């Protein structure tokens, strides 16, 4: 048990933006929401999963929809109470704590804001260890957990609750309502007891985000190595490419940001070309016609000078970025995990090959 204050939020937002693999929303917007709540209501208590009673009711809080839309619509302020009351009333018992559903700029921050405003603790666990675009894409689905009852509310006060036959149906129906509400909503889904959360959750995600964020901020302070070497070491990342953004093809469709970013090589990659495809999150990285990484491994674009992550909605012509691959949570590499989030699910014509196997030349191989 420890407290999350403003300084911790700064680091969590930065680290989670990296783990978001390009998705999860604008970290700046999410950070403002969380900081505002903590300033007004006080620090949030962070619990380890082991500190939660087995029969306690835990609910994740998240934003659903296109991150670019959320940046313009923002949060109304009463959504968290509506979500709490809806789920608590359904089960006839109080909610013990909130948790994040994924790591990402916004979705790592909204649970902190909700916990601060309702005076509840936050659990150091999530259901992805990164971010994915569709709501059935969580470790709890692998464990047989249900996304419903799922509560949904927009900034105007419209609210609904879903009961569906599969988690994929939850995604389809909730996505349609999200579009009708303007492209982004606040949701609570996968309500669960503490015992299930402990078994299938990705433990320590908030703490990992905070440590990564702190390390990224200090990456240039090391004297023994170059900042790039320090960054790859602290993230355990694989350098895939370094280039200047030559073009960004992007569209909002069905509540998702779809697109491709084209890169022209710089530095040691000069004369080479690459592209990264995304659906909210980065899905594949291809260099000179060869795929170097695919989902469910993390593909992250970071600024070549600051090493701050660049989400897909912030990609702009001329920006210089390094493409980095990070190994995913082991459960995603199982047969059940790949059915949910493997490359073929997203229409990428390749079988999944672990990032480490694709990078046979080592971490510096490009």
Over residues 275-295, mean pLDDT: 96
Residue 77 reports pLDDT greater than 80: no
pTM over 0.85: yes
Of the residues 146, 172, 206, the one at which a domain ends: 206
Which residue shows structure tokens 């509540």?
255
Q: How far apart are CA 240 and CA 290, in angstroms?
A: 11
Distance CA 22, CA 25 (A): 8
Q: Which of 220, 202, 209, 221 is nearest to 329 (CA)?
A: 202
Question: Does residue 366 surpass a pLDDT of 80?
Answer: no
How many Cβ atoms are within 10 Å of 102's Cβ, its own excluded?
29
Claim to verify: residue 284 and residue 173 sit in the same structural domain: no
Among 252-256, 344-348, 351-355, name the one with the lowest average pLDDT.
Answer: 252-256
Average pLDDT over residues 96-123: 94
- Asked if the model's pLDDT at residue 365 lies above 70, the reply is no
| Domain of residue 318, CATH code | 2.40.390
Average pLDDT over residues 154-165: 92
Q: 325 and 249: one domain?
A: yes
Length of the chain in terms of residues written: 366
Query: Hey, what are 236's tokens?
Result: 């355990």
Per cent of the chain over pLDDT 90 is 78
The pLDDT of 277-287, averaged and rounded, is 95
Give yes or no for residue 7 having a pLDDT over 70: yes
The strand pair at 150-153 and 256-265 is best described as unpaired
Q: What is the CA radius of gyration of the chain?
A: 19
Same domain, 198 and 264: no
Average pLDDT rounded to a whole number, residues 133-149: 94
In a domain? residue 21: yes
Alpha-carbon gap, residue 233 to 265, rounded angstroms: 22
Same domain, 53 and 201: yes
pLDDT band, residue 70 (cuts 50/70/90): low
Do 195 and 260 share a structural domain?
no
Q: Is residue 221 part of a domain?
A: no
Q: Region 142-161: what's the mean pLDDT?
A: 93
User: With b meaning 16 or more CB within 10 Å and e meaning fewer, what string describes 113-129?
Assistant: bbbbbbebbbbbbbbbb
Report the chain's mean pLDDT, rounded to a whole number.
92
pLDDT of residue 125 exceeding 90, the answer is: yes
Q: Does 289 reside within a domain? A: yes
pLDDT of residue 256: 79
Instruction: Evaluate whether residue 106 is within a structural domain.
Output: yes
Query: What is d(CA 339, CA 345) in angstroms, rounded to the nearest whole number?
Result: 7
| Residue 134 belongs to some domain of the structure | yes
Identify which of 251, 56, 82 has the alpha carbon closest to the alpha carbon of residue 154: 82
pLDDT at 74: 64
Does 149 map to a domain? yes
pLDDT at 41 over 90: yes
Looking at residues 153-166, what average pLDDT do you find?
92
Shortest CA distance to 171 belongs to which of 142, 135, 132, 138?
135
Strand partners, 238: 325
| Nearest one of 107, 130, 141 to 296, comparing CA atoms | 130
Note the pLDDT tens digit of each residue in 30-40.
Answer: 899 899 999 99
Give me the helix-helix angle, 6-19 and 205-217, nearest 10°. Answer: 100
Write out the two tokens for 86. 């809806």
CATH of residue 171 = 3.40.1610.10
Q: Do 23 and 133 lie in a common domain? A: yes
Looking at the structure, tell me whether residues 8 and 143 fall in a common domain: yes
Q: Write out the residue range of the structural domain in which residue 247 sits.
A: 232-358
> What pLDDT band is residue 213 in, cutting at 50, 70 and 90?
very high
Q: Residue 302: beta bridge partners?
A: 309, 322
Number of domains observed in the structure of the chain: 2
pLDDT reading at 167 higher than 60? yes
Residue 217 lies in a domain: no
Query: Is position 225 within any domain?
Result: no
pLDDT digits (tens, 9 = 90+) for 241-269: 999 999 999 887 776 789 999 999 999 99
Which two structure tokens, joined as six digits, stand for 89? 């009333």
Q: Do residues 27 and 108 both lie within one domain?
A: yes
Question: Looking at the structure, do residues 174 and 243 belong to the same domain, yes or no?
Answer: no
Confidence of residue 76 (pLDDT cuts 50, 70, 90): low
């Amino acid at each position: 048990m420890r407290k999350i204050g403003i300084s911790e939020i700064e680091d969590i937002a930065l680290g989670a933006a990296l783990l978001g693999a390009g998705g999860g929303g604008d970290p700046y917007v999410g950070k403002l929401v969380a900081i505002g709540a903590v300033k007004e209501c006080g620090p949030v208590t962070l619990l380890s999963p082991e500190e939660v009673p087995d029969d306690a009711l835990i609910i994740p809080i998240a934003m659903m929809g296109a991150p670019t839309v959320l940046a313009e619509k923002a949060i109304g302020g009463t959504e968290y109470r509506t979500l709490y009351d809806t789920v608590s009333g359904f089960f006839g018992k109080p909610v013990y704590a909130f948790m994040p559903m994924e790591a990402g700029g916004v979705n790592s921050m909204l649970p902190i804001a909700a916990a601060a405003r309702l005076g509840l603790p936050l659990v150091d666990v999530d259901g992805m260890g990164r971010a994915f675009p569709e709501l059935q894409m969580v470790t709890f689905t692998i464990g047989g957990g249900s996304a419903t009852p799922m509560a949904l509310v927009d900034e105007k006060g419209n609210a609904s609750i879903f009961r569906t036959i599969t988690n994929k149906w939850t995604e389809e129906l909730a996505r349609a309502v999200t579009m009708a509400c303007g492209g982004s909503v606040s949701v609570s889904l996968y309500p669960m007891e503490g015992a299930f959360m402990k078994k299938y959750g990705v433990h320590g995600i908030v703490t990992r985000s905070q440590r990564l964020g702190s390390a990224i901020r200090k990456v240039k302070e090391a004297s023994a190595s170059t900042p790039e070497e320090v960054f790859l070491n602290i993230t355990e990342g694989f350098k895939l490419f370094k280039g200047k953004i030559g073009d960004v093809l992007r569209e909002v469709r069905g509540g998702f940001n779809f697109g491709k970013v084209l890169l022209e090589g710089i530095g040691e990659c000069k004369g080479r070309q690459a592209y990264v495809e995304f659906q909210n999150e980065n899905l594949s990285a291809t260099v000179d016609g060869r795929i170097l990484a695919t989902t469910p491994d993390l593909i992250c674009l970071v600024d070549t000078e600051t090493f701050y992550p660049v989400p897909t909605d912030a990609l702009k012509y001329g920006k210089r970025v390094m493409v980095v691959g990070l190994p995913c949570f082991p459960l995603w590499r199982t047969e059940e995990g790949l059915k949910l989030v493997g490359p073929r699910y997203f229409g990428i014509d390749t079988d999944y090959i672990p990032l480490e196997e694709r990078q046979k030349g080592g971490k510096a191989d490009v």
